[in-house]
């Protein structure tokens, strides 16, 4: 199964490319949440963060910073979001690892990822214990 992003890497379908190196590629999102909404992908077709070897995690992070800096310098947004969806439940639609960089302007209301909830200290302690127990895996 070839992802739409692999087809962009291969040059089989067009994209508005921003940056490319051996391991990563950045281009504009075709359905932008804001002007300048960009994607950074790992070139190998791996679905999510947990599938990436360390060198790809690093490479995508460095390209994300590079592209975000260019967006900030070019478009002068008030801020930007870096968002990365893993799994359909988290909103992932293209199962080829990618990071969203979304420029933000005061009052644009274009992205709101969660509603703040509440938790007791006991709840927080319990879930922290559960997660820490798996930290070496
Ligand atoms: P996600 O929900 O994190 O999987 O996001 C996938 C993103 O890929 C969406 O924001 C789409 O608009 C974007 N997308 C899908 N196909 C293309 C394409 N051919 N070129 C650019 N962006 C695309």
Ligand 1 center to 115 CA (angstroms) = 24
Structure tokens at 122: 């006991």
Query: Is 37 known to be catalytic?
Result: no
Contact assessment for residue 101 and residue 79, using Cβ atoms and an 8 Å cutoff: no
The one catalytic residue among 96, 98, 100, 134: 98
Instruction: List the domain range (segments joined by +) for residue 37.
Output: 4-132
> Most distant CA pair in the chain: distance in Å?
53
Would you say residue 60 lies in a domain? yes
15 close to ligand 1 (CB < 6 Angstrom)? yes
Question: CA–CA separation, 81 vs 37, rounded Å?
Answer: 10
42-94 residue pLDDT tens: 999 999 999 999 999 999 999 999 999 999 999 999 999 999 999 999 999 99
Ligand 1 center to 130 CA (angstroms) = 34
Contact assessment for residue 52 and residue 45, using Cβ atoms and an 8 Å cutoff: no
Would you say residue 137 lies in a domain? no
pLDDT reported for residue 57 = 98
Q: Does residue 96 have a pLDDT over 90?
A: yes
Element (H, E) at 24: strand 24-28
Would you say residue 81 lies in a domain? yes
pLDDT reported for residue 104 = 97
> What's the CATH code of the domain at 84?
3.30.428.10
pLDDT reported for residue 45 = 98
Number of domains observed in the structure of the chain: 1
Q: What letter does residue 49 receive in the DSSP assignment?
A: G
Most ligand 1 atoms within 8 A of CB, residue of 34, 40, 93 to mutate: 93
Looking at the chain, the whole-number percentage of residues with pLDDT higher than 90 is 95
Confidence of residue 137 (pLDDT cuts 50, 70, 90): confident
- Would the CA dihedral through 47, 41, 79, 50 be positive or negative? positive
């Amino acid at each position: 199964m070839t992802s739409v992003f692999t087809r962009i890497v291969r040059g089989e379908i067009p994209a508005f490319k921003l940056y490319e190196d051996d391991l990563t590629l950045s281009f504009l999102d075709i359905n932008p949440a804001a002007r300048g909404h960009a994607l950074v992908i790992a070139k190998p077709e791996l679905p999510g963060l947990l599938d990436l070897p360390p060198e790809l995690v690093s490479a995508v992070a460095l390209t994300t910073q590079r592209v975000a800096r260019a967006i900030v310098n070019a478009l002068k947004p008030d801020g930007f979001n870096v968002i990365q969806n893993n799994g359909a439940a988290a909103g992932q639609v293209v199962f080829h690892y990618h990071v969203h960089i979304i420029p933000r302007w005061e009052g644009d209301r274009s992205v709101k990822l969660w509603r703040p909830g509440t938790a007791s200290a006991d709840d927080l302690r319990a879930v922290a214990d559960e997660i820490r127990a798996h930290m070496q895996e």
